Amino acid sequence: MKKLKMGMVGGGKGSFIGDVHRRASRIDGMVDLVCGAFSSDPQRSLESAEELGVAPERAYKSFEEMITKEKELPEGERMDFVSIVTPNHMHFPPAKLALENGFHVICDKPVTLTLDEAFDLQKVVKKSGKVFALTHNYTGYPMVKQARLMIQNGELGEIRKVVVQYLQGWLSTAVEETENKQASWRVDPKKSGIGGALGDIGTHAENLTEYITGKKIEKVAADLSSFGAGRVLDDDGNILLRLEGNTKGCMTISQIATGEENNLGIRVYGSKGSIAWYQENPNELTAYWLDKPKQIYTPGGNGTYEESTAYTRVPPGHPEGYLEGFATIYRSFVKEVVSVMEGNAISERPDFPTIHDGLRGMQFIYASVASNDNNAAWVSLKED
Amino acid sequence: MKKLKMGMVGGGKGSFIGDVHRRASRIDGMVDLVCGAFSSDPQRSLESAEELGVAPERAYKSFEEMITKEKELPEGERMDFVSIVTPNHMHFPPAKLALENGFHVICDKPVTLTLDEAFDLQKVVKKSGKVFALTHNYTGYPMVKQARLMIQNGELGEIRKVVVQYLQGWLSTAVEETENKQASWRVDPKKSGIGGALGDIGTHAENLTEYITGKKIEKVAADLSSFGAGRVLDDDGNILLRLEGNTKGCMTISQIATGEENNLGIRVYGSKGSIAWYQENPNELTAYWLDKPKQIYTPGGNGTYEESTAYTRVPPGHPEGYLEGFATIYRSFVKEVVSVMEGNAISERPDFPTIHDGLRGMQFIYASVASNDNNAAWVSLKED
Amino acid sequence: MKKLKMGMVGGGKGSFIGDVHRRASRIDGMVDLVCGAFSSDPQRSLESAEELGVAPERAYKSFEEMITKEKELPEGERMDFVSIVTPNHMHFPPAKLALENGFHVICDKPVTLTLDEAFDLQKVVKKSGKVFALTHNYTGYPMVKQARLMIQNGELGEIRKVVVQYLQGWLSTAVEETENKQASWRVDPKKSGIGGALGDIGTHAENLTEYITGKKIEKVAADLSSFGAGRVLDDDGNILLRLEGNTKGCMTISQIATGEENNLGIRVYGSKGSIAWYQENPNELTAYWLDKPKQIYTPGGNGTYEESTAYTRVPPGHPEGYLEGFATIYRSFVKEVVSVMEGNAISERPDFPTIHDGLRGMQFIYASVASNDNNAAWVSLKED
Amino acid sequence: MKKLKMGMVGGGKGSFIGDVHRRASRIDGMVDLVCGAFSSDPQRSLESAEELGVAPERAYKSFEEMITKEKELPEGERMDFVSIVTPNHMHFPPAKLALENGFHVICDKPVTLTLDEAFDLQKVVKKSGKVFALTHNYTGYPMVKQARLMIQNGELGEIRKVVVQYLQGWLSTAVEETENKQASWRVDPKKSGIGGALGDIGTHAENLTEYITGKKIEKVAADLSSFGAGRVLDDDGNILLRLEGNTKGCMTISQIATGEENNLGIRVYGSKGSIAWYQENPNELTAYWLDKPKQIYTPGGNGTYEESTAYTRVPPGHPEGYLEGFATIYRSFVKEVVSVMEGNAISERPDFPTIHDGLRGMQFIYASVASNDNNAAWVSLKED
């Protein structure tokens, strides 16, 4: 087993998502964190490095410094890939620089601050010949894999309807006026882009929909709201969906759904059967049928495909959670990087979200905002 | 206790909803079925009467005959009210005739075939001085009452968002081409009106939304579908909602949601708390709070209002169901009729759905169809 | 359809179980309440009669008077059967007198105050040639019928293990010292017999176990407690079970399980499959299998037997509850009475609990108390 | 942050629990696997080492060799502690040798093959001055911590009743006759000891009961079964419990509960409130109250103690699972080892299960078997 060396951009002390990436990267024992530009504050970056067991000389002041200095290190010592866990406006610059300097990249979502940046990044990725993964982590759950496979295999028949939700309540009050750093950048268009909840959680809902159904969202009609006083970005939205092949759908997202924690859920209705999955209880997949009682699938449990069981790490009844789903993205990314390092061609359709998914997400944000600006008229997501 | 005498229009042998009305009317021991025009087929009407313990001479050939003949009977013997359980196109004629001849009426929903009929009936009701109730039965559940009261009392703060669903799967296949009588008239615009799923279940979702939130739906943007081959009426829909006072919402309804049985559910999100209720497990109301763990209310259970407990018939933990909720509409209707018979004025806001709710439902159907015909543009529900 | 005339013993104003019996008897429209000895206080009996629409001359001062006077009435006018809804110590006297005077009887559980009375009553029933039903109402639920049928048909294979619970919390505090009439007689051995929770809810758990598995409980080893200060009867118990054919089991019952409402539940594990059912959500039956995902059966839903669907009154997804399950016992009892009135022989195994079930319940109480008195040693239930 | 070096005994290719320990040890980034005696087959041990990134010269042929050789390595290079993940009969020898040679130990449960060994090991631990942890991993879940704290703080009042279950179905058929290595040693008394399901899952149920309630089990009355043909050890049991302070309980365990996956659950009933927790949905803790609606606590969610939130790694609504709970045991163990390495005294009551818990588990197994051998008579667990 080859272990890869990871450099991290962002994720200093107190960061939520940086800590998640690190834990996820460890679970399968395939990654070592060797360096980082953990914070724009050099002292903070140094302290983070110490806490994380990273050598102080590899705690860099900036991502530019990290990429430059690491590149100078001998092969086998320098980092193999960069993990980007900064706010949205700081995705594109380090991703571009890393790729252009020969480093593979795994990046948090949404992929960039703007749609234009996403198009640019797509070109950079293509040109670089490096692996780029986007952490739409919810696609890493075994029951999400199972659902996707059941649809691919035609078990549900023709897909007619999708109902998808992503409901949180953490912005129900004006937390951005407290010490909450998460909240303050999430509501700031300079750091988040033109989507608020849309970018943070709407893109997850969009990605999960396309991943599970295997169908693209073609059009949206979006009614967005900003319930928080003074907020310029959306903190809530209800969106009609039209997908390829006459599939209809609706999506509801919110960060002001008081009391909701992280209630991502999807139901897909087909002519022969249907499925329902909810992230807060991710080890259950409910399947409904035309003429059989509904069934509860569990990871590795009776009746699941071998292809979905491959994504479990423990036996049935031993719940896996958010970190394990996230770890699956890392594992698949690492496998692909190792394969490429061994001289193989980059996979056409790797087993993790790519720049393509990133672009779809940005298209979704832009189409939704455009629709909302036009009184919820239908707006098409452009092909990419 | 005064028992009232009921005459029934429709509900002959094999009728689903007629049987429901009869059972619901019995539970509280306040109603005797004394006569009926159970079927357009006189022989069938007679057989139904026999089965139901109704005297053969009071098994009428038509509602016209029933109303005429019963009126001639001495007070104390003749029926006190008419229960209308026919398909939609046969709501208005008997309702009008009964009211004009001095009989109170309880009628299934949607109230009429067309919006115009609904307006006409509103006038007839007003002029008649009789009681008119519409069986939006889901408002009879104790936990629905509890939810409404919590919102009225401000426990949830300002209401921001509603997510409502009514999902069934019984029209997933072409059951209208089988012997299924229900299905055949439900998909027939001559008998159902311009709404398919919209009229059958959409009006329940609309009524429940307005009942629980205490807010009117002002506008809809509707994307309707007919997945069943050859169907002219909608069998599925996704609808954006705007309610009074900057409350946003979305509704999804379907009769082609394979495997769903009768999944009516509503979630209401306020600035201080939220609630969720699902008809298939009606004895639980979940409340979410800004800073307390979520709570499960049960009928008559800890923490419920006395005003909602008044609607239970058994102690906590003894589940009540669909028939009991339905019976509550009957009980409230009977109490009002008795009150009016005793010389009291008709209540301004009685404790059951009225012609007003009927009109709201028709407005909802018409606005949704108009929106769908105009590419899901916003259409306002007219005030009535 | 023949409607039967019911006389009631007990169930005066404010009675919980009397009201339940009356509602249950109405749902199917097969029973009219025509007379009653509703209370030992004649004035109260009269008031109850008025409230219930019973003629004042048929509101009797005692069950003796009721049985004597009704017997004198002409056939077709007098009551057909007696419903006994009094505390346990008042089951045997009216049951015996009614049967000996030619009236059928339906009686609440446990069947009598003492085991001796139960043996006596068994003889009386046999000699009378009349129908005797015991309202172990939980056997009336469609999903309980489905579970029993699945086991009868061998779907679960050889039955190995039963886990049964009946947990309530209403005696967690000293409610018997308040105005709570229920509580005061339930904790009084003169009115309840030698079992407290054992008699009230333990017999339901025992009956449900034997009904669903089709196996008799052969031995018990019981550890009973009285947590309430000053209580002489058990308010809690944990009981090991041995059933016919090497089936093992355990039962836990409580009325001091703080916060529990009416949590009766049973799980049965077989060599090929298992089932779980919980009374508080009675419209779900979960089936587990060796090699298939678990399934959720619903009343009348996909995959259920026609024989269980026959016990539903509404379509799938329209929940039925406690009253409907109770009504099913009444309906089956009425059908049997009508059959006997029409000259047919009494059924060997009618579709409702009988004096046999009553005796089993008393044997269970007596064996459990004997075991507890002997330090939880095994005690056999005697054959009857 | 100091990272500790781990040596592993057992856990070669294909081992379930070895893999679990390794993943759990990685999540918090505090442990490096540096050596192992992964298998009694040296070739297999070598292959495992390679797969795990362990240097081939540190893939030892036996635990004896590992302990000897590692001891010779310079401090800072040699392993800091030993993780024992072998079948039960191979717990005591390596644990004893490691402790006697100055290595800390973390060991799977049950602690030893026999009760005598457990007593011996207790002495060895005491004498060694080293840290010994036992992986009763279910005590690592945040909601288990929350439950324990609520009881410690008196929120539930006086604890009256415990209902605990651990139900699996994986031994429903004769899997020990297939290639299933797990199954073959689990049913073999030479490798498992005198308890089958008792040792494997009963000790978890026992430990969880004592951990959450803070009360010792004083007596058991056990009815054990071996449903699998030819099995000499129990694969099922129902056990009455008496705990300190007049708390009653019952436990049901099974490995032949067809269709159950890993259904460990516990309910604790107190005079003021109650709790319920189920391992298969570990992110919910239900609390019941005398006079408030029931509440659902979630890790880090509203109303939880800071002391339980300290055990979460992600925000509310991001489910954690089996591996994270397991990792918590490792983390607490590592912190204690580091503390001891820094010269602090060994904690009296560290935040992980110890040899004391191991002895309790063995006492529980022995008392249960003795009770079963004596027809389920009460047997006391000896004090240790």
- How confident is the model over A348-357, as pLDDT tens digits? 999 999 999 9
CA-to-CA distance for C253 and D125, rounded, in angstroms? Answer: 42
pLDDT of residue A122: 98
**Residue from C13, C22, C27 whose CB has the most chain B CBs within 10 Å, to mutate:** C27
Residue A25 maps to which CATH number?
3.40.50.720
Separation in Å, CA D144 to CA D166, D244, D335: 15, 20, 20
Does residue D256 share a domain with residue D368?
A: yes
pLDDT of residue D137: 98
Tell which residue, D274, D121, D135, D150, has the closest CA to residue D203: D135
pLDDT of residue A2: 78
- Chain B neighbours, 3+ Cβ pairs < 8 A: A, C, D
Kindly give, in sequence order, each residue whose CB lies less than 8 Å from that of residue B361, ignoring residues fewer than 6 positions away.
Answer: B109, B110, B111, B136, B199, B203, B206, B207
Residue C21 confidence (pLDDT) above 80: yes
Asked if B301's CB is within 8 angstroms of C323's CB, the reply is no
Does residue C216 share a domain with residue C332?
A: no
Residues of C in contact with B1 (CB under 8 A): 50-53
Does residue D275 share a domain with residue D337?
A: no
For residue A48, what are the domain limits? Answer: 4-138+327-354
Of C29, C50, C324, which is closest to B22 when you measure between CB atoms? Answer: C29
User: How far apart are the CA of D281 and the nearest CA of chain A, in angstroms?
Assistant: 7
HSE-up (13 A, CA, CB side) for residue A272: 8
Pairing of strands D81-84, D104-107: parallel
Instruction: Look at residue B320 and tell me if it is in a domain.
Output: no
D260 touching C, CB under 8 A?
yes
Q: Which residue has the higher pLDDT, C286 or C382?
A: C286
Show which of residues 301-340 on chain B sit within 8 Å of chain C, judged by CB atoms: 301-302, 313-324
Does residue C182 share a domain with residue C94?
A: no
Does residue D10 share a domain with residue D122?
A: yes
Specify whether the CB–CB gap between B375 and B240 falls below 8 A. Answer: no
Instruction: Look at residue D317 and tell me if it is in a domain.
Output: no
Q: Which residue has the higher pLDDT, D26 or B14?
A: D26
Tell which residue, A236, A229, A134, A233, has the closest CA to residue A190: A233
Q: Taking residues C162-179, what's their average pLDDT?
A: 95
Q: B310-323: per-residue pLDDT in tens?
A: 999 999 999 999 99
Residues C143, C144, C147, C151, Cα dihedral to 10°: -160
B277 touching D, CB under 8 A?
no
Specify whether the CB–CB gap between D323 and A327 falls below 8 A. Answer: no
Does residue A372 share a domain with residue A339?
A: no
Does residue D45 share a domain with residue D115?
A: yes
pLDDT of residue A384: 57
Q: Taking residues C173-193, what's their average pLDDT?
A: 91
Q: Tell me the pLDDT band of A24, cut-offs 50, 70 and 90.
A: very high
User: How far apart are the CA of D289 and the nearest CA of chain A, in angstroms?
Assistant: 21
Of C3, C302, C314, which is closest to B323 when you measure between CB atoms? Answer: C314
Specify whether the CB–CB gap between D36 and D60 falls below 8 A. Answer: yes
Residue C347 confidence (pLDDT) above 90: yes
Total domain count, chain D: 2
Does residue B124 share a domain with residue B195?
A: no
CA-to-CA distance for C297 and C285, rounded, in angstroms? Answer: 5
Tell which residue, A275, A240, A330, has the closest CA to residue A3: A330
Asked if B316's CB is within 8 angstroms of C321's CB, the reply is no
Mean pLDDT (chain D) is: 96
Of C223, C257, C273, which is closest to D258 when you measure between CB atoms? Answer: C273
Q: A228-265: per-residue pLDDT in tens?
A: 999 999 999 999 999 999 999 999 999 999 999 999 99
Per-residue pLDDT of chain B (384 residues; tens, 9 = 90+): 679 999 999 999 888 899 999 999 999 999 999 999 999 898 999 999 999 999 999 999 999 999 999 999 998 999 999 999 999 999 999 999 999 999 999 999 999 999 999 999 999 999 999 999 999 999 999 999 999 999 999 999 999 999 999 999 999 999 999 988 888 899 999 999 999 999 999 999 999 999 999 999 999 999 999 999 999 999 999 999 999 999 999 999 999 999 999 999 999 999 999 999 999 999 999 999 999 999 999 999 999 999 999 999 999 999 999 999 999 999 999 999 999 999 999 999 999 999 999 999 999 999 999 999 999 999 999 865
Instruction: Look at residue C70 and tell me if it is in a domain.
Output: yes
Residues of C in contact with B20 (CB under 8 A): 314
Residues of C in contact with A298 (CB under 8 A): 293
Does residue A290 share a domain with residue A269?
A: yes
Q: Tell me the pLDDT band of D15, cut-offs 50, 70 and 90.
A: confident
Q: Tell me the pLDDT band of D182, cut-offs 50, 70 and 90.
A: confident
B274 touching A, CB under 8 A?
yes
Complex ipTM: 0.96
Does residue B310 share a domain with residue B273?
A: yes
Separation in Å, CA A372 to CA A169, A224, A254: 22, 6, 15
Residue C384 confidence (pLDDT) above 80: no
User: How far apart are the CA of C45 and the nearest CA of chain B, in angstroms?
Assistant: 15
Asked if A240's CB is within 8 angstroms of B376's CB, the reply is yes
Q: Taking residues A198-203, what's their average pLDDT?
A: 98
CA-to-CA distance for C78 and B250, rounded, in angstroms? Answer: 59
**Residue from A22, A25, A26 whose CB has the most chain D CBs within 10 Å, to mutate:** A26
Instruction: Look at residue A314 and tell me if it is in a domain.
Output: no
Instruction: Look at residue D168 and tell me if it is in a domain.
Output: yes
Does residue B182 share a domain with residue B128?
A: no
Residue C182 confidence (pLDDT) above 80: yes
Does residue C147 share a domain with residue C131?
A: no
Q: Which residue in chain B has the smallest CA separation from A158? A: B227
CA-to-CA distance for C174 and A375, rounded, in angstroms? Answer: 62
CA-to-CA distance for B339 and B341, rounded, in angstroms? Answer: 5
Asked if D298's CB is within 8 angstroms of A260's CB, the reply is no
Asked if C50's CB is within 8 angstroms of B1's CB, the reply is yes
Mean pLDDT (chain C) is: 96
Residue B187 maps to which CATH number?
3.30.360.10
Instruction: Look at residue D322 and tell me if it is in a domain.
Output: no
Give phi and psi for A366, each to the nearest 5: -65, -40
Instruction: Look at residue C384 and tell me if it is in a domain.
Output: no
Instruction: Look at residue C378 and tell me if it is in a domain.
Output: no
CA-to-CA distance for A132 and A352, rounded, in angstroms? Answer: 9
Q: Tell me the pLDDT band of A1, cut-offs 50, 70 and 90.
A: low
Q: A265-277: per-residue pLDDT in tens?
A: 999 999 999 999 9
What three-state secondary structure class fits B163?
strand
Tell which residue, C191, C18, C224, C225, has the closest CA to residue C110: C191
Q: D253-275: per-residue pLDDT in tens?
A: 999 999 999 999 999 999 999 99
Q: D94-133: per-residue pLDDT in tens?
A: 999 999 999 999 999 999 999 999 999 999 999 999 999 9
Of B274, B294, B375, which is closest to A257 when you measure between CB atoms? Answer: B274
CA-to-CA distance for A175 and A332, rounded, in angstroms? Answer: 36
C155 touching D, CB under 8 A?
no
Q: C126-147: per-residue pLDDT in tens?
A: 999 999 999 999 999 999 999 9
**Helix or strand (DSSP H, E) at C237:** strand C236-243
Quote the DSSP letter at residue C230. T
Size of interface B-D (CB pairs under 8 A): 42
Asked if A240's CB is within 8 angstroms of B254's CB, the reply is no
